[in-house]
Amino acid sequence: MKARLLTILGLIVVLSMLFTLSGSALAAQPPQQEGEDWWAKAAEPFKGVTIRGVSESTPPSKYAAEVLAPAFEKATGIKVEFETTSWDQMYDKEIKDMEAGTGVYDFVYIEQDIVYAYLDRKFLVNITQMMKDKPELVWPGYNPNAFTSFVDYFKDPATGDLYGVPMEAFIKVYLYRKDLFEDPEIKAAFEKEYGYPLAPAVNHKQYADIAAFFTKWGKDHNMELWGTTVQANTGHPSSFYEMFETILPSFGVYNWGINMDNWKATVANGGTMNSDRAKEAFAFWVGMLKYAPPEATASTWDEVAATFAAGRAAQGWVYGENAAWIATDETRSKVVGKVGVALPPLYAGVLEDKVLRNKGYIGYYDGGAYGIPHSSKNKEAALLWLQWIARPDFQVDWAIKAARVTETATFDDPRLKEFDKKVDGYFTLLKEKGFLFAGAPPFPFHATIREVIAPFIYKGITGEMSTADALDQAAAAVDAELVRLGYGK
Amino acid sequence: MRATRTGWGLLAPTLIILGFVGIVPFLYVIYIGFFDWDIFAAKVGMVFAGVNNYRRLVFDSEYLAALGRTLQFMIWVVVSELILGFVLAQLLTRNFWGRSVFRTIHALPLVVAPIAVGATWRLFTIPGFGPLPYYLDKWFGIEYSISRYAGHAFTTIVLMDIWHWTPFVTLTLVAGLTSLPKEPFEQALVDGANRWQVFRYLTLPLLTPVLVTTTFIRIMDALRVVDEVWMLTGGGPGTSTRFVGLHIWLVVFPKTAYGYGAAMSLLTLYFTIVLSWLLFIAITQSGRQTAS
Amino acid sequence: MASRPLRKTLSGVGTYLVWIFMSVFTLLPVYWMFVVSARSRVELFGGPNLIQTTFFAENYLKPLSSSTYRGYLMNSLIIATSNAVLVMILAVMATYALSRYRLKGDENIFFWTITNRMAPPAVFLLPLFLLYTRVIKIGEWSLFDTHIGIILVYCVFNLPFAIWLLKGAIDGIPAELDEAALVDGANTFTVIVRIIVPLAAPTIAISGILSWIFAWNEYLFAATLTSVNARTITTGLAEFVTVTGTNWGQMAAMAVVAILPGLLFLSLVQRYIVTGLTFGAVKE
């Protein structure tokens, strides 16, 4: 018995030694660039320094950690230590670090929805100012106008100064099964039943019709197919996010229904969170559950993507970063080549509001940037790193590997255009219609209020409360909490 | 009693570590509990609030509901694990073929990280993708969804905890059983006592210290459970599995209400201590009766 | 009343039935974890069948070939083992002191040490984070992201329990044995090592195992107080959960790998529980 155990132990040791040898081959090589001497010279005083950053372990960050960071170290001698962790851990640690001023991190991932909180607490270094003060650290090739409009989210609204360099951006789009929508038999059956041709839904009624149709079709033909995905996890904020960031805006209820003049959410006090329109939206969305597969109530963005990739849904609202691999990666998706991309279905007047009157938005613009904490001990080295990841020559490869675009020039690259065809024009959509979408509203209390609202959303989904009651109570709770936090009276 | 200096000397390293890394943070938590400290509030920083946090807690229906759920969970789980663990421990003290194999298999869940336990059970029970709901539906026509029905979620979590922690009870009871002195038992057999009497008047009382220790540890851990529940249901459906440990975690982390969270932790700790104290009295009382 | 041999057989059969049922119940989720680790991402939602015929080795190879994950495994090993050893040594010393010496206020000490174990962990993370990054600092070095830092934190959780467990065992060793040895010229150290440890071995072993397991599996404190250098495999598991999908296959693979040392440790130390059977005889 002992001998056997020792043999197993020995095997483990030998195997791990073998893997040491095979380790390095898997790192990809970054593209070749010129003008490296500027970097080496600028980094001279910081040679040998290690900067540490925290980020989520998503493909864009992984690319930065595995490809861009080693190249940076080679060019400058500054080592980049990347801590990749889960979504909630990342937030918690960077907040703790900046709150306590402990200087653990030199760059942090700023998700678009938390940037206002960070700006409010002055957690981040003013990059524009720092560049003015230390021109010797500004790369000649750095162009602040190279970014897409997404960069505006990381600027102080009052001064226009930049606090974060965008590193990923996506829009949450409407995905549909192109192959099913173009199938002649299906088209005929749909038109026969509903009286209009089958096409990606432009409003919620059409969406509901299509969802009902495909659920029935799936049942009648004994397929594992349902009409829609719903990100309705009954215990995870992802359901709150789909409801408040995707569905409500599509119904014309913006900024979570919170009135930003007096910080109230209830209709009685001037908000719109429990307005009739919002209730209609919530009822619609919960109503879609009957056309969704059973995992809908357990679905975060994760399972929604998995559901669509497994071919279990005919349409759905899916985050851009997932849309790309669903459409192209055969090791993960069963519907490669069958994915269609379109703008989400909208309530009458919402699109006109945005296009003609620049009011509101139609959906969610997701993404994040890297910023420098005020407590960092190596701000200069970090600044060099941030400019490194903004290098135009790195953007296309990064876009193809991780489906993110943060600089406008990337859209015109022929390689990206080629890739765009495979994702049914997602990047074209991002380029041309991206301005219709918006990130999270400028709430410093984003996470806190989300936690207040979420339990009511969960209960509305399970039916423990009616959807109307859920919104009423959520809005009242928000009013109370905002007062307690010092916003409004 | 010998030179107490040696005694203190032996105890010192333990005290130093526990003092610095255990008590100092604890005192800090008590300190924070008297402040309003929300990271993203309009008024920045720590604002002295006296006992306001505690007053709020008494009326906090979410918190009280979480406490209630946790108590329910704890009772189910601790009672089941004690009974099951005891039966299994008894069986393990006998010598039978394959005993060490079974013992090793049984202890396996203990070496799986709670977060992996939660993840595995989630994959196993997730509607649509997991085998359990699939086969329950296919073979028995039962609709099983932990994300839809609070009862299903609660039951699954109880089962998961029993799966995970019964071996802990079994192992400690085995250690206890094997450490029992032999003569009282031999004496009892000579005196003609039957199995039940031996159990009731010898095994139980002699085993009481170990039983008490194990029960308390299980109670404390059940009241603190976070990772497994988080992975499996996130506290859902709705808030039906949001136990107090998870609730505090949600208040401190995403909601960044540090002051309130500190007060909540302390109040929960207080309840735990009171509960343990009451149980301790109850057990020692009944122990005294049995001894006579 | 059935005859003795029949009752014996029935109880024997009963025992086996119980154990087989328990083993199936125990192994099913573990088996499932293994199945998930053997599936590629596409296969994972290809239908929940319980049988797996192919083995997608990449789930294991990818993380294992990354020096980061191997580092995590190594860190976990170092931290868990050091912690178990430290706890066993300190607990024996402390419990011996509490048992044999009348020390003022030892009841209170005991109480305070337990509270950390009893309280919900979430809030303690902030003070510990501050302590490790700001307070205990010598120049650039701090306790944050170090092995020793985590080992010390785990002591706070494991020591009280170990002491609690050991108290019963050491109290049960008659003080006359110590006296006899001391009279013969032994010092306290020899008494502890030669008399106490062998007699309390099963309990020491159990507290060691449980400390090791706790340290190996702990997530919350390791995630907060480590960053890149001292990260453990359990926190590494959480990294698989991302916005672009949880890589359940790789996560399950690493979870399976994470079980192996624990299993090894467990089976090696199990024999000491059995040794306790002779303990009763010694007490004659």
CA separation, residue C76 to residues A78, C227, C231, C258 (Å): 28, 13, 8, 9
Does C238 contact B at CB distance below 8 Å? yes
pLDDT band at C185 (very low <50, low <70, confident <90, very high): confident
Does A478 contact B at CB distance below 8 Å? no
Tens digit of pLDDT for each residue in A200-258? 999 999 999 999 999 999 999 999 999 999 999 998 899 999 999 999 999 999 999 99
From chain C, pick out residues whose CB is under 8 angstroms from the CB of B111.
213, 216-217, 259, 262-263, 265-266
Mean pLDDT of A465-487: 94
Query: If DSSP codes are grouped into helix, strand and coil, which group holds residue A362?
Result: coil
CA–centroid distance for C179 within its chain: 34
pLDDT the model gives residue A272: 95
Tokens at C2, concatenated: 């059935």
pLDDT the model gives residue C273: 52
Could you give the CA distance from residue C231 to residue A378 in angstroms, rounded to a whole number?
23
Q: What are phi and psi of A404, to 5 degrees?
A: -120, 140
CA distance A85 to chain B (A): 14
Chain B's closest residue to A240, CA to CA, is B238
Buried b (16+ CB within 10 A) or exposed e, A47-85: eebebbbbbbbbbbbbbbbbbbbbbbeebbbbbbbbbbb
Average pLDDT, chain C: 79
From chain A, pick out residues whose CB is under 8 angstroms from the CB of B255.
447-448, 451-452
Mean pLDDT of B161-183: 84
Could you give the CA distance from residue B57 to residue A285 in angstroms, rounded to a whole number?
34
Mean pLDDT of A361-385: 93
Mean pLDDT of B28-56: 86
β-bridge pairing A79-85 and A50-56: parallel
E strands within A229-358? 315-319, 339-342
pLDDT the model gives residue C46: 61
pLDDT the model gives residue A97: 87
Chain A's closest residue to B44, CA to CA, is A121
pTM of the predicted structure, to 2 decimals: 0.85
Q: Residue C236 carries which side chain, given as an amino acid letter? A: G
pLDDT the model gives residue A28: 46
- pLDDT exceeds cutoff 90 at A90: no
Of C130, C127, C47, C96, residue with least CA distance to C199: C96
DSSP-assigned letter for residue C196: I
Tens digit of pLDDT for each residue in A288-304? 999 999 999 999 888 89
- pLDDT exceeds cutoff 90 at A189: yes
* C123, C178, C235, best to mutate vs chain B, most B CBs in 10 Å: C123
More confident residue, C84 or C2: C84
Measured over all CA atoms, what is the biggest interatomic distance in chain C, rounded to whole angstroms?
78
Q: How many residues does chain C have?
A: 284
Bridge partners, A318 (sequence order): A173
Give the number of C-alpha atoms closer than 13 A to the C-alpha of residue A144, restricted to the C-beta side: 14
Of C113, C225, C226, residue with least CA distance to C167: C113
Of A56, A172, A168, residue with least CA distance to A399: A168
Query: If DSSP codes are grouped into helix, strand and coil, which group holds residue B142?
Result: coil
pLDDT band at C274 (very low <50, low <70, confident <90, very high): very low
Asked if A297 lies within 8 A of B145 by C-beta distance, the reply is yes
Consecutive H or E run containing B206: helix B204-224
More confident residue, B279 or A182: A182
Mean pLDDT of C145-149: 90
Question: How many angstroms separate the first and last alpha carbons of chain B?
Answer: 32
* Residue for token pair 């785990």: C154
Asked if A9 lies within 8 A of C264 by C-beta distance, the reply is yes
Consecutive H or E run containing A56: strand A50-56
Residue C14, classified by CB atoms within 10 Å of its CB into exposed (0-12), middle (13-18) or buried (19+), is: exposed
Instruction: Give me the sign of the Cα torsion angle A481, A482, A484, A485.
Output: positive
- pLDDT exceeds cutoff 90 at B154: yes
Q: Which residues contact C162 (CB under 8 A, 6 or more apart)?
A: C87, C88, C91, C95, C207, C210, C211
Does B1 contact C at CB distance below 8 Å? yes
- pLDDT exceeds cutoff 50 at A33: no
From chain A, pick out residues whose CB is under 8 angstroms from the CB of B146.
298
Of A420, A418, A409, A278, residue with least CA distance to A341: A420
Could you give the CA distance from residue B223 to residue B218 in angstroms, rounded to a whole number?
8
**Which runs of consecutive H residues, i.e. helices, occur in A288-349?**
301-309, 320-328
- pLDDT exceeds cutoff 60 at A34: no
pLDDT the model gives residue C45: 67
Asked if B175 lies within 8 A of C273 by C-beta distance, the reply is yes
Question: How many angstroms separate the first and last alpha carbons of chain A?
Answer: 72
Radius of gyration of chain A from Cα atoms? 24
CA distance A375 to chain C (A): 12
Average pLDDT, chain A: 89
Do the Cβ atoms of A332 and C247 come closer than 8 Å?
Answer: no
Which of these ranges, A393-407, B100-114, C148-162, has the smallest mean pLDDT? B100-114
Consecutive H or E run containing A107: strand A107-111
CA distance B127 to chain C (A): 10
Q: Which residues contact B223 (CB under 8 A, 6 or more apart)?
A: B70, B74, B243, B244, B245, B268, B272, C118, C120
Chain B's closest residue to A88, CA to CA, is B254
Of A404, A405, A371, A373, residue with least CA distance to A386: A371
DSSP-assigned letter for residue B71: H
pLDDT the model gives residue C3: 63
More confident residue, A18 or C149: C149
Query: If DSSP codes are grouped into helix, strand and coil, which group holds residue A371?
Result: strand
Number of inter-chain CB pairs under 8 A, A vs C: 114
Do the Cβ atoms of A300 and A307 come closer than 8 Å?
Answer: no
Could you give the CA distance from residue B289 to residue C18 in angstroms, rounded to a whole number?
33
Which of these ranges, A42-51, A328-337, B43-52, has the smallest mean pLDDT? B43-52
Could you give the CA distance from residue A347 to residue A356 in angstroms, rounded to a whole number?
15
pLDDT the model gives residue C18: 86
Of C214, C93, C90, residue with least CA distance to C150: C214
What is A62-97 written as a DSSP string? HHIIIIIHHHHHHHHS-EEEEEEE-HHHHHHHHHHH
Tens digit of pLDDT for each residue in C71-111? 888 999 999 999 999 999 999 998 888 888 777 766 666 66
Which of these ranges, B229-238, C57-66, C76-85, C259-268, has the smallest mean pLDDT? C259-268
Asked if C237 lies within 8 A of B252 by C-beta distance, the reply is no
Question: How many angstroms separate the first and last alpha carbons of chain C?
Answer: 36
Q: What are phi and psi of B134, to 5 degrees?
A: -65, -50
Q: Residue C110 carries which side chain, given as an amino acid letter? A: F
CA separation, residue C134 to residues A99, A102, A104, C116 (Å): 12, 6, 10, 21
From chain C, pick out residues whose CB is under 8 angstroms from the CB of A19.
61, 64-65, 70
pLDDT the model gives residue A26: 39
pLDDT band at B2 (very low <50, low <70, confident <90, very high): low
- pLDDT exceeds cutoff 50 at A27: no
More confident residue, C269 or B259: B259
Q: Could you count the other beta carbons within 10 Å of the beta carbon of residue A20? A: 11
Does C31 contact B at CB distance below 8 Å? no
Give the number of C-alpha atoms closer than 13 A to the C-alpha of residue A418, restricted to the C-beta side: 6
Chain B's closest residue to A462, CA to CA, is B148
Mean pLDDT of A139-161: 90
Instruction: Give me the sign of the Cα torsion angle B93, B99, B101, B105.
Output: negative
CA distance B128 to chain A (A): 5
Number of inter-chain CB pairs under 8 A, A vs B: 112
Of C76, C283, C29, C74, residue with least CA distance to C177: C283
pLDDT the model gives residue A246: 95
Asked if A297 lies within 8 A of B250 by C-beta distance, the reply is no
- pLDDT exceeds cutoff 70 at A29: no
More confident residue, C219 or B284: C219
Q: Which chains touch B (3 or more CB pairs under 8 A)?
A: A, C
Q: How many residues does chain B have?
A: 292
More confident residue, A436 or B130: A436
DSSP-assigned letter for residue A55: E
Rounded to 5°, the CA angle A428-A350-A155 comes to: 60
pLDDT the model gives residue A32: 44
CA–centroid distance for A233 within its chain: 17
Do the Cβ atoms of A229 and A300 come closer than 8 Å?
Answer: no
Tokens at A192, concatenated: 């026969």
Instruction: Give me the sign of the Cα torsion angle C221, C223, C227, C231.
Output: positive
Query: If DSSP codes are grouped into helix, strand and coil, which group holds residue A442?
Result: coil
Q: What is the ipTM score, two decimals?
A: 0.84
Do the Cβ atoms of B164 and B118 come closer than 8 Å?
Answer: no
Which of B6, B91, B171 lies closest to C18 in CB terms? Answer: B91
Do the Cβ atoms of C195 and C216 come closer than 8 Å?
Answer: no
CB contacts under 8 A, B 78-97 vs C, are: 87-88, 91, 94, 96
Query: If DSSP codes are grouped into helix, strand and coil, which group holds residue B196?
Result: helix
E strands within chain C? 137-138, 141-142
Consecutive H or E run containing A176: strand A165-177
CA–centroid distance for A192 within its chain: 39
Query: If DSSP codes are grouped into helix, strand and coil, which group holds residue C41?
Result: helix
More confident residue, A346 or C138: A346
Of C153, C90, C79, C156, residue with least CA distance to C117: C156
Do the Cβ atoms of C134 and A102 come closer than 8 Å?
Answer: yes
Residue A392, classified by CB atoms within 10 Å of its CB into exposed (0-12), middle (13-18) or buried (19+), is: middle
